[in-house]
């Protein structure tokens, strides 16, 4: 997962290897790379992905028949989409620099949201 790589590099103090775009350092060293000034955004993303995976697996094991769980999963997906939209805005407009891994994470979040939305409202 992209967020686990970013989180590991943040904790270990390593350098992120930027692929395809320039600006990873600008993005990852900005004040926007943390939430509340001390929580790495990559940690929040990592927790988001783990929570979605665990809840989706739980619902799948129950045959997808847990209404409350489906609602929670949809709320998680919407929150993930909103955060990804905000971080994309920050990269494009405020920092004018992009991080490959942040873009991959945003793309993954859009896929997660789209999949959950479609499954939730397909009938």
Q: If you average pLDDT over every residue of the chain, what do you get?
A: 89
What would the pLDDT profile of 40-70 be if each residue is shown by its tens digit?
Answer: 899 999 999 999 999 999 888 887 667 788 8
Q: In which domain, by residue range, is 99 found?
A: 2-121
Which residues neighbour 37 within 8 Å (Cβ) at sequence distance 6 or greater? Answer: 31
CATH code, 19: 1.20.1440.130
Please give the model's pTM, rounded to 2 decimal places: 0.85
pLDDT at 76 over 90: yes
What would the pLDDT profile of 102-116 be if each residue is shown by its tens digit?
Answer: 999 999 999 999 999
Number of domains in the chain: 1
What would the pLDDT profile of 21-31 be if each residue is shown by its tens digit?
Answer: 888 888 888 99
């Amino acid at each position: 997962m992209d967020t686990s790589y970013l989180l590991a590099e943040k904790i270990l103090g390593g350098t992120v290897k930027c692929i395809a775009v320039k600006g990873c350092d600008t993005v990852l060293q900005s004040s926007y790379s943390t939430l509340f000034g001390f929580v790495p955004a990559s940690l929040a993303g990592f927790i988001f992905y783990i929570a979605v995976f665990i809840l989706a697996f739980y619902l799948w094991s129950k045959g997808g028949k847990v209404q409350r769980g489906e609602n929670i999963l949809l709320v998680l997906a919407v929150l993930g989409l909103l955060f990804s939209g905000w971080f994309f805005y920050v990269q494009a407009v405020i920092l004018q620099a992009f991080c490959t891994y942040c873009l991959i994470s945003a793309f993954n979040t859009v896929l997660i949201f789209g999949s959950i939305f479609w499954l939730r409202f397909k009938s």
